[in-house]
């Protein structure tokens, strides 16, 4: 098989070689526990401080507002459960129908124990209606949770506006920013979010490291008790992974979103080439307001899953929806919320990353075009 063409960077990214190189010494010779007092651990402690500084700089936050976690799912659940525990007399939460499973499954659990959850709907382009949000706020609403960018269609949501509404009503606001970090600039000071999550493995660091941003003024009850992370997240720090995350963030800061411009051009050209070569193509999402690497696209009469499996034979990896959805073969909750009929045709998700080249994209478009034609001939 020829070299793999990996086009599923919203599911996960390849760990950057520079990230891996800074991590290795902390798994080999420099294995001290940062909580220990002897000098063997000094460098480890300093490196964790450096990562906290980098992440704070990336978000324009304070270092004291950064909590390292095991993944963004943990960050999401921690933020929601913190809001729940700090508001024992309130029962209403507002979220959307298109959040990640870590948010939606937590909401389902809370619903089961008597909480009142409003799931905001989206239109056929996956957009939220801010007026609907304003209308559904109740006296006992204590939390709003809305993602910054959607993993399947790439839409960017009006977080600043939602934050202002939440602030005006004295409601906590949590934002899952996993798919936005590294792709669009985030200035936490402008956003009015109380908590925000991000994940290492979407930005070329390894799987198993995440961050919970928590505004200093927001009271916090940990999900995992213990003295680490200033008593906010127990468990011996995942030193090498934290340091790897620090490097990944440093690379984003150094690049200053220049490679993102290139990525956007690559994505837009790819979409044009696909539309030139293939008839009856549908592009989903808010095309004017998307993260720059994501394309959600369907071909009349063709199911995304069959396309995915045939492309795999050519060494090409694309997604059909979120990674977890692909496993349990459920129809995508995002596309279903958008009212898209998935009976005859269903989309694939192409999410480009910094390692993708124009040659790869061209090869993919060629292969896609012949596979779509072959499948249509067969029907």
**Residues near 146 by beta carbon (within 8 Å), at least 6 away in sequence:** 95, 96, 99, 120, 128, 157, 159, 162, 173, 175, 176
Q: Confirm or reject binding of residue 210 to ligand PLP (CB under 6 A).
A: yes
- Spatial distance between the Cα atoms of 165 and 136, rounded to a whole number of angstroms: 12
Q: What is the 3-state secondary structure (H, E, C) of 17-64?
A: HHHHHHHHHHCCCCCCCCCCCCHHHHHHHHHHHHHHHHHHHHHCCCHH
Least gap, CB of 200 to ligand PLP (angstroms): 7
Q: Which stretch binds ligand PLP (CB under 6 A): 55-63, 70-78, 136-144, 363-371?
A: 70-78
Contacts to ligand PLP from residues 96-115, by CB under 6 A: 100, 102
Q: Confirm or reject binding of residue 118 to ligand PLP (CB under 6 A).
A: no
Pairing relationship of beta strands 281-284 and 210-214 according to DSSP bridges: unpaired
Type and span of the H or E element at 108: helix 101-112
102 vs 356, beta carbon nearer ligand PLP? 102
Count, residues near ligand PLP per rule CB under 6 A: 14
102 vs 345, beta carbon nearer ligand PLP? 102
Show the site string, 129-148: x = touches ligand PLP by CB under 6 A, - = not.
------------------x-
Binder of ligand PLP out of 145, 166, 178, 186 (CB under 6 A): 178
Whether 324 is a known active-site residue: answer: yes
106 vs 322, beta carbon nearer ligand PLP? 322
Q: Confirm or reject binding of residue 72 to ligand PLP (CB under 6 A).
A: yes
Report which DSSP code applies to 8: B
Q: Which stretch binds ligand PLP (CB under 6 A): 24-32, 110-118, 172-180, 270-278?
A: 172-180
- Spatial distance between the Cα atoms of 187 and 193, rounded to a whole number of angstroms: 10
Binder of ligand PLP out of 16, 65, 176, 194 (CB under 6 A): 176
Q: Confirm or reject binding of residue 179 to ligand PLP (CB under 6 A).
A: yes
Q: Which of 15, 71, 175, 324 is catalytic?
A: 324
| Residue 335 near residue 321 (C-beta atoms within 8 A) | yes
Residue 148, both tokens: 């910054």
Class of residue 95 by CB neighbours under 10 A (exposed 0-12, middle 13-18, buried 19+): buried
Residues found near ligand PLP in the complex (CB under 6 A): 71-73, 100, 102, 147, 151, 176, 178-179, 199, 210, 322-323
Active site residues: 324
């Amino acid at each position: 098989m020829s070299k793999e063409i990996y086009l599923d960077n919203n599911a996960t990214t390849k760990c950057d070689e520079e990230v891996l190189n800074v991590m290795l010494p902390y798994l080999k010779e420099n294995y001290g526990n940062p909580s220990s007092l002897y000098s063997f651990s000094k460098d480890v402690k300093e490196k964790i401080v450096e990562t906290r500084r980098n992440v704070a700089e990336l978000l324009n936050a304070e270092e004291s507002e950064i909590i390292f976690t095991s993944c963004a799912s943990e960050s999401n659940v921690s933020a929601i459960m913190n809001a729940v525990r700090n508001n024992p007399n309130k029962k209403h939460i507002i979220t959307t129908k298109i959040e990640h499973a870590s948010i939606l499954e937590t909401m389902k659990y809370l619903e089961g124990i008597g909480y009142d959850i409003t799931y905001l709907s989206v239109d056929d382009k996956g957009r939220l209606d801010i007026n609907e949000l304003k209308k559904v706020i109740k006296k006992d609403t204590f939390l709003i949770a809305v993602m910054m960018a959607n993993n399947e269609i790439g839409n960017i949501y009006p977080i600043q506006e939602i934050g202002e509404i939440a602030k005006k009503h004295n409601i906590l606001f949590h934002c899952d920013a996993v798919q936005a970090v590294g792709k669009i600039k985030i200035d936490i000071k402008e956003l009015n979010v109380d908590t925000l999550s991000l994940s290492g493995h979407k930005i070329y660091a390894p799987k198993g490291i995440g961050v919970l941003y928590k505004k200093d003024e927001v009271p916090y009850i940990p999900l995992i008790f213990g003295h680490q992370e200033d008593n906010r997240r127990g468990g011996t720090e995942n030193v090498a992974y934290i340091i790897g995350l620090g490097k990944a963030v440093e690379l984003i800061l150094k690049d200053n979103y220049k490679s993102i411009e290139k990525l956007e051009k690559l994505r837009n050209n790819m979409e044009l080439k696909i539309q030139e070569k293939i008839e009856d193509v549908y592009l989903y999402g808010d095309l004017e307001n998307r993260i720059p690497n994501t394309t959600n696209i369907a071909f009349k009469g063709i199911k995304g899953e069959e396309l995915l499996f045939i492309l795999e034979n050519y060494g090409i990896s694309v997604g059909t929806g979120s990674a977890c959805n692909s496993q349990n073969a459920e129809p995508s909750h995002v596309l279903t919320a958008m009212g898209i009929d998935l009976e005859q045709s269903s989309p694939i998700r192409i999410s480009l990353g910094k390692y993708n080249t124009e040659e790869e994209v061209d090869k993919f478009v060629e292969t896609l075009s012949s596979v779509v034609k072959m499948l249509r001939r067969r029907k």
